[in-house]
Amino acid sequence: MSEQNLATTEHLNNGVEMPRLGLGVWKTDNASAKQSVSEAIQHGYRMIDTAKQYGNETGVGEGIREGLEKSGLNRKDLFVTTKVFNGDQGYQSTLDAINGSLKRLQLTYIDLLLIRWPVDGKYIDTWKAMEQLYRQGKVRAIGISNFDVEHMQNLLDHADITPVVNQMEFHPLQQQKDVLKFAQHAGIQIEAWSPLGGGEVLDNPTLQKIADAHNKSVAQVIIRWDLQRNIITIPKSSHLERIQQNADVFDFELTDAEVETVNNLDEGKSSLWYDDFAWHNMQGEGIPDTVDTWYDSPEDYDK
């Protein structure tokens, strides 16, 4: 087993090195985000994933600042991802929106900027703006999230720069095989959001049997499976004990047979989705133009 740790990286198609395991903060309020990000950095995490939609960029920024101070690290030691909010999609609005994210995160650049959803009629213009931000050095890499094969192909037909990442719901019950195959052929790295797949996956008896064989938790087995499949993964937790447990996956390795057993659990089943999201919606109608949580109130969000 080759030596790996939280600093182990994946080589993206533009030459940037991205950590293979990081911390996600979806559905985490600002106070919790600050604490979990700070603690994660102090315990070895080098990648943090947030989004304006999550309403916690401010807390993440404070957590980054505190974590760096307490760990003695520098900004360059971290890899920070955020995403273009649905309501900000479009060329000029994307260019303008990056400044708000940088301010809330207290950063001068973003390591990875993603289109959060492929809003039809807007995502091509959004991508063109992101290409400009990349050329300006405000972001080190640009990618996409929740793009199926059709949307990836359409984007590639219009793009000057190939996305480095497609961040998708990916876990043992939803392995996105068509998306994964297309992305690998195009040189796009798949990154897993919701890698633990909710309660149904964590209660799976097949996974529990594998976990027992390694004296590990089911969550640790899933994260290890992601890493052995070369899937970048960002399990979310706001509890220090679980943050530490999720990172304790570098002292064991699944056998080829165990990896194949997990591969065979795929049902193409999404555990988390947005009922009001329409894949084909030229006007963006029905797509939320709000963030999920606020620091104190909406009026305070941009402060």
- pLDDT above 90: percentage of residues in the chain: 75
Per-residue pLDDT, 200: 78
Q: Is the pLDDT of residue 296 over 90?
A: no
Active site residue 54: yes
Per-residue pLDDT, 143: 98
Query: What is the rounded distance in angstroms from the CA atom of residue 15 to the CA atom of residue 288?
Result: 34
Per-residue pLDDT, 270: 65
Q: Is the pLDDT of residue 276 over 80?
A: no
Query: What is the rounded distance in angstroms from the CA atom of residue 271 to the CA atom of residue 185?
Result: 26
Of 80, 21, 8, nearest in space to 224 by CA: 21
Per-residue pLDDT, 31: 92
Sign of the Cα torsion 297, 275, 51, 247 reads: positive
Per-residue pLDDT, 298: 35
For residues 294 and 58, the model is more confident at 58
Q: Is the pLDDT of residue 269 over 80?
A: no
CB-CB neighbours of 283 under 10 Å: 11
The secondary structure of 168-195 as a DSSP string is EE-BTTB--HHHHHHHHHHTPEEEEEST
Domains by residue range for the chain, with CATH: 18-199+232-238 (3.20.20.100)
Lowest mean pLDDT among 133-137, 212-216, 234-238: 234-238
Average pLDDT on 55-77 reads 96
Query: What is the rounded distance in angstroms from the CA atom of residue 10 to the CA atom of residue 197?
Result: 23
Q: Is 135 exposed, middle or buried (0-12, 13-18, 19+ CB in 10 A)?
A: exposed
Q: Tell me the pLDDT band of 3, cut-offs 50, 70 and 90.
A: low
Per-residue pLDDT, 97: 94
- Please name the residues in contact with 298: beta carbons below 8 A apart, sequence gap of 6 or more: none
Average pLDDT on 249-264 reads 97
Q: Is the pLDDT of residue 38 over 70?
A: yes
Spell out the alpha helix ranges (H) of the chain: 30-42, 57-71, 91-105, 123-136, 149-158, 177-186, 198-202, 205-214, 218-228, 240-247, 256-263
Residues in the chain: 303
Chain-centre distance for alpha carbon 272: 14
Mean pLDDT, the chain, whole residue set: 88
The active-site residue, picked from 54, 123, 134, 301, is 54
Distances (CA, A) of 22 to 12, 17, 200: 16, 13, 23
Average pLDDT on 154-163 reads 98
- SS3 at position 142: strand
Average pLDDT on 114-142 reads 95
Average pLDDT on 266-271 reads 75
Q: Is the pLDDT of residue 1 over 80?
A: no
Angle between helices 57-71 and 91-105 (to 10 degrees): 40
Categorise residue 276: left if φ over 0, alpha if ψ from -120 to 50, beta otherwise.
Answer: alpha
Amino acid type, 61:
G
H or E stretch at 82: strand 79-84
Per-residue pLDDT, 2: 55
Of 115, 112, 84, 87, nearest in space to 99 by CA: 84
Q: Is the pLDDT of residue 250 over 50?
A: yes
Sign of the Cα torsion 149, 151, 154, 155 reads: negative
Q: Is the pLDDT of residue 180 over 70?
A: yes
pTM value > 0.85: yes
Residue pair 155/125 in contact by the 8 Å Cβ criterion: no
